[in-house]
Structure 1
Amino acid sequence: MPVHKVLVVGGGITGSVLSLALAQRGAEVDLVEISPQWFGVGHGITLQGNALKALRSVGVLDRVLHRAVPFDHMRLRHADGGLITDLPTPRTGGADLPATAGALRSDLQDALCDAVHAHGVRVRLGLTVAGLDQWPGHVDVTFTDGTSGRYDLVAGADGINSAMRELIGITARPSPVGMSIFRVVGERPAEMDCAEVYYGGPRYKAGYSPISADRCYAYLLDENLDTSLIGPRAPLELLRERGAGYRGSWGKIIASLPEDTAVDHRWIETVLIDGPWHRGRTVVVGDAAHACPPLIAQGAAMCLEDAVLLAELATGSDPLERALEHFMSRRLPRVRMVLRNSLQLAEWEIHPGTPGADPARIMSETLQSLTAAA
């Protein structure tokens, strides 16, 4: 029997798309989000074609693309801004979709929030799961506000530091990759028409992507700095100091940032449950099951593919146990490949000059392989 009543834990991009896809297929969905507020926050996001395909499947793509910036190529530059090469990007979502789109995370999340409400998902904020009891035909859930519920399926989409993962006895934990990232949103220069990456400077690399008509998302990949700097309000002066030596449009963007600019700084971490992501009738998906460094910009796409496929299989004709096995057989090899190649790129960034290093080949082969259906 297909599932009818589902609990989704986590209201980010993965949980929102999963809730929406389930509701559209006739499931009764509760979505719980630990934050007391539910709206789009954060910096920019790169959505490659397979991510756009997932958004189209749940009916929000047109709204996202109304404000996002689509493009079909990227440029590699020297640290001084000189052009290395202009590369076409494979259309991983199919020939009828852009290869890539840059968007504000807030625009994407706002579109998903509105669609989730419009499709009758019951959204509860400021709470999460305190405990659960698995039974052959259902899961009994106790929430942190003392209420409870019974569900056919519980899906944890609560991010890389997932509490649901630990709650169901999966021992995988995030580990640092060995690099950190500064992120900012700034004014989009008139000449910016695609993502660009700067190599050969004082840090691992710098780059940016257009995310709206007048805004861009810029970043700097650096070594792991002191943990006291981690958070959404790192010093702008530190970013400028660490990024000194990158010129061209990147240098102009950073120099023009207002002094009150929010600078997000994080250590990049990774996690992979290299085995079943489910225990009984509970499953974890998205970054809770797999999170990779942003070297191929496939993190969001992998999460969205999880959500769409899980909704399709869980509401299909197969028993849930078989549906989850089928889900794993389709998702784990694809996610494992993306994570492996992303970590290889990170390793080459951290140790430049490694014999045999060929980032362009790895990126091209990865994206080309993702043109196959998820």
Structure 2
Amino acid sequence: MNEQKIGSIASALIVGGGIGGMATAISLAQRGVAVDLIDLDPDWRVYGAGITITGPTLRAYKHLGLVDRIKAEGAVTTGASRVRLFNGQILRVLDEPEIEEGLPATGGIMRPILHRIMQDCVRELDISVRLGLTVTALETEGEGVNVTFSDGTNGRYDLVVGADSVFSAVRKLAFPHMAEPVETGQGCWRISIRKPPEQDMGEFYFGSDNPCGITICGEDAVYLFLLTPHVPREKFMDDEELFTTMKELLGPFGGNAGWIRDNMSRANWINYRPLAAAIQPRPWSSGRVVLLGDAVHATTPHLASGAGMAVESGIVLAEELANNTSVEQALAAYEERRFDRCRDVIESSVAIGQLQLDHGNPGQIAGMIEGALGRLNAPY
């Protein structure tokens, strides 16, 4: 790639090869910046079930030029989700209108497939990718950042972007005013399984101790998530305990959630993790080092917007770097555009989760979700 400047940067290091890191790398490379992308995993893998893709998230992927592949390899719909009581009784249908003409309203895709789509784009743009690597020291000096890598090598870049998860090494190195995300008191169970025969749209189930939801992710694929109070423990659950516990937790459910309970097997991918969230205090940049994604705006899955916020942040960062001749001005403008929007997602998600823990009214919970998703339809 021929190196050229956008604004006042010609080179960038992206730390973290997940959704936010790849979105940033793609956005910068599309504008001609020489990008190095590093990831701690030597195999650059992704684990997980499906992922819900809301209209705003699809809009962000459209800006990256990837929405057609997502439509082809995932499952997109024209815009509705069903709300049920846990026993299967239908309460209402949430309207999810199209936010742009020709853009699907909502959908889902298996996370490994989405990861592969983005990896393909990274490779097509000839972005340098180095794996099994992170950073151990960062020093802004003049108009660049001196970087020490975990393999002992060094580099210098006009900008370093930390998109390296809730456990961000970049955050720990360069942002002493920030802290680790805080657990919310809920845990999230997920299972990937074939689509129930009567599943025709996404669903939410409320009214029990443990709300759940189902997202269609392909022609014959869904994932179900189940939210429970989190009880800290010393050891991780093995596969057998994950299976038997999740099946038991789904015991009261009817509808398609009940079908999944009755048809799940030990061959299905099942996962559990405690939920944590944080909108990190400003500033989000330190010299020529900046954060995005879970490193600085980690959220819970209640609005299905964590990935969307990370992609948006990568796009906005690249836009502001292109629109400003000063890196400092660009980073300040990026932060100004992103802070309140990300804070709304996180605070709304945590509030919805707390209401679920408090056994709040299902209609109120559904209304909070619908209202927050409506606000996300606004331009970013």
Please give the TM-score of this superposition, normalised by the length of structure 1: 0.95
Deviations 1:57-96 (A, max 9, x none): 11211111102111210011111111111121143x4233
Counterpart for residue 59 of structure 1: 65
- 2:199 and 2:235 mapped to 1: Cα distance? 30
Counterpart for residue 159 of structure 1: 165
Cα gap change, 1:272 to 1:326, in 2 (>3 Å): same
- 1:16 and 1:47 mapped to 2: Cα distance? 17
- 1:315 and 1:298 mapped to 2: Cα distance? 26
The equivalent position to 2:315 in structure 1, one of 308, 320, 328, is 308
- 2:250 and 2:371 mapped to 1: Cα distance? 30
What SS does the corresponding residue of 2:290 show, helix, strand or coil? strand
Contact 1:230 1:265 survives alignment (8 Å): no
Cα gap change, 1:240 to 1:80, in 2 (>3 Å): same
Q: Are 2:216 and 1:215 equivalent residues in the alignment?
A: no
- 1:63 and 1:230 mapped to 2: Cα distance? 36
Counterpart for residue 38 of structure 1: 44
Q: Are 2:28 and 1:22 equivalent residues in the alignment?
A: yes
Unaligned runs of 5+ in 1: none
Measured after TM superposition, the shift of residue 187 of structure 1 is: 0.8
Contact 1:16 1:113 survives alignment (8 Å): yes
The equivalent position to 1:112 in structure 2, one of 98, 112, 118, is 118
Deviations 1:228-256 (A, max 9, x none): 46478452011011221112211111221
Q: Are 2:241 and 1:268 equivalent residues in the alignment?
A: no
What amino acid maps onto 2:149 in structure 1? F
Q: Are 2:315 and 1:321 equivalent residues in the alignment?
A: no
Q: Aligned pair count?
A: 371
Deviations 1:5-60 (A, max 9, x none): 00000000110111011100000000000000024432100111111111111121
- 2:84 and 2:125 mapped to 1: Cα distance? 45
Contact 1:231 1:266 survives alignment (8 Å): no
Q: What is the RMSD computed on CA atoms of the aligned residues?
A: 1.8
Contact 2:242 2:272 survives alignment (8 Å): no
Counterpart for residue 336 of structure 1: 343
Measured after TM superposition, the shift of residue 130 of structure 1 is: 1.1
Q: Are 2:256 and 1:249 equivalent residues in the alignment?
A: yes
The equivalent position to 2:231 in structure 1, one of 225, 229, 236, is 225
- 1:185 and 1:35 mapped to 2: Cα distance? 23
Contact 1:232 1:263 survives alignment (8 Å): no
Cα gap change, 1:232 to 1:3, in 2 (>3 Å): farther
Counterpart for residue 282 of structure 1: 289
- 1:172 and 1:357 mapped to 2: Cα distance? 34
Deviations 1:129-170 (A, max 9, x none): 011111120001010111111100000001112111111024
Deviations 1:319-369 (A, max 9, x none): 000001111111001111111111111111111247x98223322222222
The equivalent position to 1:237 in structure 2, one of 234, 239, 244, is 244
Contact 2:49 2:269 survives alignment (8 Å): no
Counterpart for residue 156 of structure 2: 150
Counterpart for residue 79 of structure 1: 86
Counterpart for residue 127 of structure 2: 121
Contact 2:52 2:108 survives alignment (8 Å): yes
- Range with greater deviation from structure 2 (327-336 or 226-235): 226-235
- 2:200 and 2:314 mapped to 1: Cα distance? 30
